[in-house]
Structure 1
Amino acid sequence: MKTSKKYYLILIVIVLILPIIFLSKMFAETKNDLIIFWLVDRKEGEKIETYRYFVNLLEKYPQLHLNLSFSPPVLQNWVTRAPDLVEKLKSLQGKKQISIVFPPFYEPVLPLLYDYNPVVSFSYPIDIREQMARSWELYQQFFDSLPNGIVPPAGAISSAILDLLSEFEIKWIVTGGEEISEGGYAPFVQYLTDAGEVVYLFFRENKLSEYRDRISPATEYSLNITSAKEKVKQWIAQIVDKNYPLTVVTLEGIPRAFTADEKEYEIVKQLFEQIVQGKFVTYTAENYILKNPSAKRTMTLKPLSWREDGFSAWTDKIEKRAAWKLLEQARSAVEKYKNSGQAEIKTLDNILEEIYFCESGDNFLHFGEAAYENSEKIELNFRLKLVNIYRLIGQPIPEELFHPLASYSFFGSLPSEEETKIEIDENERLFSLLDPSGDSFDERFDLENFSCRERVNSLDKEEIVFSFTFSNPIVLTEVVTSTEVITFSEVDTSIEPVVVSTEEAGSLQETIASENEVITSTGFYVIESSTPTEIENKVERIFVDLYIDLNNRVGAGSVALLPGRRALTIPEDAWEYCLTTEINTSGIKEAKLYRAKENNSSQKLGEFPVVINSSYTFSVDIPKEILYGKPMNWGYLVAIFKETVYYQEGDNTQKVNSEEMEIIDLIIPRGKTQKQVLSDSKLNPSLSAVRIR
C-alpha cells in the first residue's frame, strides 16, 4: 500500500513538473524579430578596410540579415577604389542576405523641399524627383535592378512625400518611432497613397537606434562597461528587456573604437556575434513583408522625423532660416530662367546641380552650430554655390551672399502682416489660409479667410466643405455711370437745378454715392448730354475661383485658368479641378465645378448649392466621391476676379463695352506678397498654389 502511494506521488510530480519544464524550454527558445537598417553616409567612404571586414563577417554569418542604405557617392567611390568590395555586396544581395537601397542623391530632408517648410514657401517636388531619378539610375548601373525601398534622410516623411515616392514603385520606407501609434510602439504598418498604392512603413525604435550615443551612465547596464563586448551586451539587454515581437533599429555607420586598445571594427564584430548568438531572427525588409503582408493600416500621417528635435534641427537658428530664405530666392530665380525661353540646357544642368547640392539636409544641420566640425567651411561653400548660380543665369548677385548668415537676423522671421498665414487642425481635418487684410484692389471684396474641412454629413456621406470669408458684407449693387436726370423722393423744386457737363458725370456719381443726404436736401442735378433719353449702366460680376492641384506635377492639369481670366499657373501647379462662384447684383449664384482637360481646356462637372453662413461668409459642399483624396496634400490657388460690362439703355438695351476680368484679390504662398506677384497688371501673371504641407 505504501509502495502504491509512493508511485502515485511520483506520477503526480511528473505530471506537474514536465509541462513546466517543457514550457520553460519552449519560451527559452522563442526568438523575437529584429530588423536592422545600417546607414552608410558619405563620411564612411574612406573606411574601405573596415567595410571589407564588415562584409567578411556577413559571409561568416549567413543567418544574419541586414539592410544597408548607402549614400550614392560612397559606392561610386568604391567601384573605382574597391571593386572587390562592391562585388561582394552584390553577391550578398543576390543571396538575399542583405538589401541595399539609396536615398535621394544629395540627401535632402524631403518634406522641407515640398510640403512642410516653416521658414519659407519652398515647394519644389521636381527637385526631389530629379534627385531620386539620379540615385535610381546609379543604382541600376551597379545592381542591374531598382531598389524596393528607401531610408529617407532622418526618416523625414509626410503624406505628400509618400505619394511622391510611390511614383518610383517604392514598397517600403523607414521613418521615426513611437509617434505613429496611440497604443505604443508600432514598428510595422501599411499606408495607402492617394493613387491606391500600398507602402509599408518601418518605424524605428528611437531609444535603441544609434546605440553608441544612447546608452546613459545612469542605466543599470552601464556599470563597469570597459569594452566593445560589454557595450554591445548592454544594448542587447535593452532589446531583450523591451521584448517587442518586432524591433526596428537604424545604426549610423561604423562606430569609433570604444577604447584605445581596440580596433575600429571591434564593436561591429561583437555586434554581429551577439545578435547571431542571441534570441533574434533578423530580416531584410523584403523578407519581412513577404512573411507579414497584412500589416496594420494607418489612415493619417503627419510630417515627422526620427530626430528628437523634429524639423527644427534644420530651421531653428538664425543662420538656418537665413539660408532657407537665400536658397528660396535663388531657386525662384532659377525657375524664372528655366521658363524664360532663353535657358541653355548645359547651363541649366550646371545650375540645378548647384541647387541640389545646396538642398542637402547636412548643410542646414551645420549652419549656426559652432560645435560641429567644419561648420564655417560648409556655410561658405553654400554661399559660394548660390553666388555661382546668379553668375550662371546672368543676374546681379545679392549682397547678402557676401556676408555670414548670422548677419541677417531678419531672415526667416514669422510671416509678415502682408503674407498668407496657414492654420492647421489635424484633429478636425481642417485648415485655413488667412489672407492679409486690406490688400484687395477692390475694398468691397477683400478676402479674409479660405478654409477647407473634411466631414461626414447627415446622410453619412463624406464631403469637403470649402468656405470663403470676406472682410465686408458680400453685396454687389448696380452702378449708374451716366444719366440724364437723377431725382430723389424729397425734391425742393424751388431750388434752381445745378447743371454739369457729361465729363463731370463720373465725379458726380461718386458725390451722389457719398453725399446722399446733401443731394436729397438740395433737390436734383441735371447732366447735360447729347442723348438725354439714354442711360449707361456699369454692371459688375465677381468670380471667386478656387483652383486645386492634386499632384504638383508638370504636365498634369491645366496652366490656363477658366476662360476670360487674365492669368496662368506655374507649370508644376497646373490645376485638375476648379470651383467657381459668381456674385452679381441678384446675389451669390450656385457654384460650378470644372475639371481640366487636354490642351488647357475644361469641362463642367456640375453645379452645387452655396450655403450662406453669414453676410460675410459662404461655403460649398463637394462630395468626396467626386473630389476624392486628401485635401491637406493638395495645392490651392484662390483668386477673386472682377468683370465689368457697360450697357446702354434706351430704345434698345445693348452691350457697348466690356473690360477684361482683372484679379482684385489673391491668396499666394508664404514668402511673397500680392503686390509683388501683381506688380505689373499689364502682364499675365504666373500664379503659384499654396501648399498646406
Structure 2
Amino acid sequence: MTSALPKLYFNLYWHMHQPDYRDTLTGEYVLPWTYLHAIKDYTDMAYHFEANSAARATFNFVPVLLDQLEDYVAQFQTNKIADPLLALLAEDDLHGISKEQRQFIIDSCFKCNHEKMLTPFPHYQALYNMAKALESNGEEAFSYLSDQYFADLLVWYHLAWTGESIRRNNTFVQALMLKGQCFSLQERIDFFKLIGELIADLIPRYKKLQKSGQIEISSTPHFHPILPLLLDFKSTRDAMPYAPLPHHPQYPGGKVRAQAHIKAAKDSHKERFGEYPVGMWPAEGGVSHAALLLLAEHDVKWAATGQGVLANSLYKSFENYEMPHKDDYLYQPYRVANDTDEIVCFFRDDHLSDKIGFEYSKLHASEAVADFVGTLEGIHQANTTDKSRIVSVILDGENAWEYFPYNAYYFLSELYAALANHPDIEMTTFSDLVGKSARVQGELTTLPAIAAGSWVYGSFSTWIGSTEKNHGWDLLCEAKKVYDHVMEKGFLEPEEVKNCELQLAICEGSDWFWWFGDYNSSVSVDSFDRLYRRNLSNLYRLLKKPIPEILNHAISVGSGHPAVGGTMRRGQE
C-alpha cells in the first residue's frame, strides 16, 4: 500500500575510477587494475541494470579510466599488448619466459581477496598452496614449477577476476571453471580474446543504458585532481584549522590547470557519450566555494560531495547555527551561487553509503537488503513535511565487490528489485531531480558559504596535511615551476608541448596522495609511490630537464592494514 507521505527519491551514484597506470614514455602498464576491474566490476554493474529495466541510477566515469579502456581496446585490435600480465595469458611459449617473468606471475596472480576469490575454487587454492610451500626456499625453488603450473595460474587469476554475470552466462567460461586444470594454449588464447571483447563492449553497453533513460552518466575533471587544492592549499584549513601545509604556498597556476581538467573532461564525455555531462563528481567529492563556482562557470549544473562538507558548510554559512537531526538538513540538495553562475549540490548519506562499502559484505544478501530498505523506509516515515526527501547514496562502484560473495551478485540483484518495485521509494538520477526540484522540494536553500572538504571526514586529510603527503605536493610544485619555465621559453615542438601537458595532468591526479601514509599497506604504498615518482621523472624527461636526485627516494612507507585493502575509506571516522 502506498503511503500518503511525499515519495522518497533514492539517488544512487556509482563512481568508476582508476588512475592512469601507464608509463607514458614506454606505453607499458605498470599495474593491471584497469582491465581486471573492467572484466569483473564494470561488466557486472552494467548487467544488473540490463537485467532490471525498472532500476535507475547515475554512473560516474572518470575520463582517465575511459582513456585506458579505449587503449586496451586498441591493444587487442592491433595485437600489441602493453600490459605484461595480460600478454602472458596469451603467451604461446611459457617454457621460454624468463626467470623474472615467472616471479612476476607468482607475485601478481594471488593479488585478490582470498576468502571470496581464491578459496572457493579448489584448483586455484591448490596452485596457491604449491607456491606457499616453495616460498620459504627462496625464488630459486620456483624453478621446480612447470609451464603448465604457470598456464593454469594465469587462467585461474583471470577467472577469479571475471564478473559473476559472465560466469553465469558464458558457456566457455563455465567450461574452463569445470575443467579446472591443464588448460591448453588454445583455451588461454580464447580466454584472452573474450577479455578483449568484454572490454570493447563496455562503453557501448553503458551508452545504451543512458540512451534508454535508465541511467545518467556524469564525469569528473579529467585526471581526477582535487580542484580546491589546485586552487588554494589553504582551503585545507576550513576543516583542519591547524593542518601543516606544503612548503609551497600555492600550486603554481592552479586555476588554469583546474580549468583545463574540467574542459578536457567535458570534451571527452561528449566524444564518448554523444553529449556534454550535465553534472560532475568532483574528484573525491573535493569541493570549495571557488571550486563549485568554477564548475558552474563551465556549465556544470550539479555536483555532489560528502555529508561532512554539508555540516561544516551550514556552520560556516549561518551564525550561531544549531545542527538539527540529519533528517532535517541532509536529505535535500542545496543551491550555491554568485551573481552570474549557480550549481546544485547534493550530499552523501555517509551511514548508508558506508554500510554498502564496509558492512553488507558480512551479511546474507537478503538480510543486507532488508536492512538497507528498512533504513530508507524509516527516513520516509519520519518525514513530517510536504517536501519529498532525497537520499543520495554515493560510493565506489568497483572496489567493494571482491569482499562480497559472488561479486555482490545477489546483493545487487535483490537491492535493485526491492527498490525498483517499492511503492514509496523512487529510484532516480541527479539530472531528473534538478529538473523537478521545485516540484518535489520547493525553492532550494542557498548555501552562502561552502566549507572546503571531501567525502572522507569532510576534510582533505587523506590527501594533504601530513609530512609525506605535503612532500608529494612539494615535489609536484617544483616540477610545475620547471614546466612553466620551459613553456615560457617556447623551445619545444607542439607535439612535445602536448606530451608534457598530458604528463603534468597525470601527476596532478589525487590517487598518488591517497596512498601516502603509514595507515596504508606497504605493498600498495610502494606501488603507487614508485609510479608517482616515475611519472614526475617522466615529466622532467619530456621537459628535457635533469631529473632531481630526490625522486630516487621513497616518499612514503606504509605499514597499516586498512579495511578493503585501502582502496576505499569511510565517510565518517
Question: Fold conserved (TM > 0.5)?
Answer: yes
Q: Which moved more, 1:54-63 or 1:396-405?
A: 54-63
Do residues 89 (structure 1) and 206 (structure 2) align? yes
Aligned to 2:375: 238
For structure 1, the residue ranges without an aligned partner over 5 or more in a row are 1-24, 217-221, 408-693
What SS does the aligned partner of 1:313 have? coil
Aligned to 1:313: 462
Do residues 122 (structure 1) and 251 (structure 2) align? yes
Name the CA shift for 1:343/1:306 in 2 (closer, same or farther; >3 Å). same
Q: Distance in 1 between matches of 2:223 and 2:9?
A: 32
Aligned to 2:275: 145
Do residues 252 (structure 1) and 243 (structure 2) align? no
Aligned to 1:298: 447
Q: Distance in 2 between matches of 1:383 and 1:289?
A: 42
What SS does the aligned partner of 1:145 have? coil
Q: Distance in 2 between matches of 1:192 and 1:213?
A: 29
Q: What amino acid does structure 1 have at the position aligned with 2:332? A: F
| Conserved 8 A contact 2:222-2:262 | yes
Aligned residues: 375
Which residue of 509, 516, 538 corresponds with 1:388?
A: 538
| Conserved 8 A contact 1:211-1:251 | no
- The C-alpha deviation readout for 1:595-615, integer Å capped at 9, x for no partner, is xxxxxxxxxxxxxxxxxxxxx
Q: What amino acid does structure 2 have at the position aligned with 1:240? A: E
- The C-alpha deviation readout for 1:629-675, integer Å capped at 9, x for no partner, is xxxxxxxxxxxxxxxxxxxxxxxxxxxxxxxxxxxxxxxxxxxxxxx
What SS does the aligned partner of 1:104 have? coil
Do residues 34 (structure 1) and 15 (structure 2) align? no
Q: CA deviation at 1:199?
A: 0.8
Q: Distance in 1 between matches of 2:556 and 2:524?
A: 16
Q: CA deviation at 1:309?
A: 6.3
Aligned to 2:550: 400
From the CA coordinates, give the structure whose radius of gyration is larger: 1
- The C-alpha deviation readout for 1:421-472, integer Å capped at 9, x for no partner, is xxxxxxxxxxxxxxxxxxxxxxxxxxxxxxxxxxxxxxxxxxxxxxxxxxxx
| Conserved 8 A contact 1:151-1:175 | yes
Do residues 64 (structure 1) and 214 (structure 2) align? no
Which residue of 188, 191, 211 corresponds with 2:332?
A: 188
Q: CA deviation at 1:68?
A: 0.4
What SS does the aligned partner of 1:325 have? helix
Q: Distance in 1 between matches of 2:404 and 2:397?
A: 18
Q: CA deviation at 1:352?
A: 2.1
Which residue of 256, 265, 280 corresponds with 1:135?
A: 265
Q: CA deviation at 1:57?
A: 3.1
Higher relative contact order, structure no. (Cα contacts within 8 Å, ≥ 6 residues apart):
2
Whichever structure has more strand as a proportion of its residues is 1
What SS does the aligned partner of 2:352 have? coil
Q: CA deviation at 1:311?
A: 0.6
| Conserved 8 A contact 2:286-2:455 | yes
Name the CA shift for 1:192/1:57 in 2 (closer, same or farther; >3 Å). closer
Q: Distance in 1 between matches of 2:351 and 2:534?
A: 38
| Conserved 8 A contact 1:105-1:131 | yes
| Conserved 8 A contact 2:357-2:395 | no
Q: CA deviation at 1:271?
A: 2.0
Q: Distance in 1 between matches of 2:371 and 2:34?
A: 25
Name the CA shift for 1:131/1:259 in 2 (closer, same or farther; >3 Å). closer
Q: Distance in 1 between matches of 2:275 and 2:469?
A: 38
Q: What amino acid does structure 2 have at the position aligned with 1:230? A: E
Q: Distance in 1 between matches of 2:509 and 2:62?
A: 12
Q: TM-score, normalised by structure 2?
A: 0.60
Name the CA shift for 1:324/1:258 in 2 (closer, same or farther; >3 Å). closer
Aligned to 2:567: none
Q: CA deviation at 1:140?
A: 1.4
- The C-alpha deviation readout for 1:333-389, integer Å capped at 9, x for no partner, is 111211124343322222222221111111101113442642112112212222233
Q: Distance in 1 between matches of 2:259 and 2:425?
A: 37
Q: Distance in 1 between matches of 2:396 and 2:338?
A: 32
Query: 1:373-452 alignment to 2 at 5 Å?
Result: 373-405=523-555
Q: Distance in 2 between matches of 1:265 and 1:273?
A: 12
Which residue of 268, 288, 297 corresponds with 1:167?
A: 297
Q: What amino acid does structure 2 have at the position aligned with 1:58? A: F
Q: Distance in 2 between matches of 1:406 and 1:53?
A: 35
Q: What amino acid does structure 2 have at the position aligned with 1:342? A: F
Q: What amino acid does structure 2 have at the position aligned with 1:304? A: G
Name the CA shift for 1:31/1:257 in 2 (closer, same or farther; >3 Å). farther
Q: What amino acid does structure 1 have at the position aligned with 2:295? A: L
Query: 1:108-119 alignment to 2 at 5 Å?
Result: 108-117=225-234, 118-119=245-246
Do residues 228 (structure 1) and 365 (structure 2) align? yes
Query: 1:506-655 alignment to 2 at 5 Å?
Result: none
What SS does the aligned partner of 1:364 have? helix
Identity of aligned residues (%): 23
Name the CA shift for 1:26/1:106 in 2 (closer, same or farther; >3 Å). closer
Q: Distance in 1 between matches of 2:460 and 2:411?
A: 31
Q: What amino acid does structure 2 have at the position aligned with 1:305? A: S
Aligned to 1:355: 504
Q: Distance in 1 between matches of 2:34 and 2:366?
A: 22
Q: Which moved more, 1:85-94 or 1:251-260?
A: 251-260
Name the CA shift for 1:50/1:332 in 2 (closer, same or farther; >3 Å). closer
Name the CA shift for 1:27/1:131 in 2 (closer, same or farther; >3 Å). same
Q: CA deviation at 1:91?
A: 2.3
Q: CA deviation at 1:74?
A: 3.7
Name the CA shift for 1:366/1:192 in 2 (closer, same or farther; >3 Å). closer
Q: What amino acid does structure 2 have at the position aligned with 1:241? A: G
Name the CA shift for 1:226/1:342 in 2 (closer, same or farther; >3 Å). closer
Name the CA shift for 1:322/1:73 in 2 (closer, same or farther; >3 Å). closer
Q: Distance in 2 between matches of 1:351 and 1:78?
A: 22
Aligned to 2:147: none
| Conserved 8 A contact 1:35-1:282 | yes
Q: Distance in 2 between matches of 1:231 and 1:93?
A: 28
| Conserved 8 A contact 1:109-1:361 | yes
Q: Distance in 2 between matches of 1:167 and 1:403?
A: 40
Which residue of 267, 283, 298 corresponds with 2:428?
A: 283
What SS does the aligned partner of 1:208 have? helix
| Conserved 8 A contact 2:469-2:513 | yes
Q: Distance in 1 between matches of 2:431 and 2:56?
A: 11
Do residues 105 (structure 1) and 222 (structure 2) align? yes
Q: TM-score, normalised by structure 1?
A: 0.50
Q: Distance in 2 between matches of 1:404 and 1:379?
A: 7
Q: CA deviation at 1:66?
A: 0.6
Q: Distance in 2 between matches of 1:389 and 1:54?
A: 36
Aligned to 2:346: 202
Q: CA deviation at 1:98?
A: 0.8
Q: Distance in 1 between matches of 2:458 and 2:445?
A: 27
